[in-house]
Copies of this chain bind each other. A is one copy, B any other.
Amino acid sequence: MSITSDILRGHTEAIILAHLLEQDSYGYQINKDIMKKTENRCELKEATLYSAFRRLEQAGYIRTYWGDETVGARRRYYSITEEGRRAYQVYKREWEEAKAAIDKLLI
């Protein structure tokens, strides 16, 4: 069973930031990683991913640069900023709170 987008909604940015905390990465790879980590239960669709990248960049939470691949398709890498790290901590705490609240409500 896969997780519906409405449940995932609101967590995309946190999920992306979490990945970039570990290491710089690029869209296609991030997408793959998410599916792998969750055994194909979560899939952020490409369009969703890219619109999240735009928001994160506009907010100053990530920076981007082009990879220097000499072969294969070019890659646009993303790296998390200091502001992004702080934002992640907020996202993370929000998630913990939401989790506790929903757990209380769903008996």
Could you tell me which A residues sit within 8 Å of B by CB distance? Answer: 1, 3-11, 14-15, 18-19, 21-22, 34, 37-38, 41-42, 91-95, 97-99, 101-102, 104-107
Contacts and interface: CB of A to CB of B under 8 A. Distances in A.
What secondary structure prevails in chain A residues at the interface with B?
helix
B105 A37 contact: yes
A4 B10 contact: yes
A38 B98 CA distance: 9
Contacts of A7: 10-11, 94-95, 98
Given A3-B97, A94-B1, A105 B34 contact: yes
Nearest to A95: B106
A17 to B, nearest CB: 9
